[in-house]
Amino acid sequence: MPEYAWIISAAIGWIIFLFVVDWSRLKYTAWGGLIVVVLQLLVDTTAYELKLYEIEALFIFLGSSIFFTLGVVLSISILFTQTLPDSRLLQGINIVVISLLFYLEEELFVQVGALQYIHWNSAASFGVNILVFTAFTWLVDALGLNRKGRKERGGFKL
């Protein structure tokens, strides 16, 4: 029953989201989540069509589990948008950390059989994650999505 791994990860993503989201900024930062959904679907549809991997899922949409796309990808990328720091150094650290978390999740999907590599591997996946989140960070920063609606607080800035 590996196809249920996608549902479990979606539930975990939304539970985390509900506990830490800043509801007052959601009207700005939800756009970040939608941008990442589009990026994820572009990347995964291409990889799926090239037969780089196969997935076991209850509902597949454009080569991806609908629970992955509307679960972890949407919820966590909204939080990513809300918490993106202004500092370039911290942005770089943020990119590496979120890429590692998605890499670890993918490894779990492989271990339980929800995802099978055909012409793909973990290192390639991590590299794509770095590229996608770097592009997304640039876009969020350029559009100011991480700053809209934010109340400035005092404190140390890098």
What's this model's pTM, rounded to 2 decimal places?
Answer: 0.86
On whether the CB atoms of residues 103 and 126 are closer than 8 A, the answer is yes
Phi-psi region of 63 (alpha: psi -120 to 50; beta: other; left: phi over 0): left
Cα separation, 105 vs 94, in Å, equals 17
pLDDT value of position 153? 52
pLDDT lower than 70: segments of the chain: 148-158
pLDDT value of position 148? 67
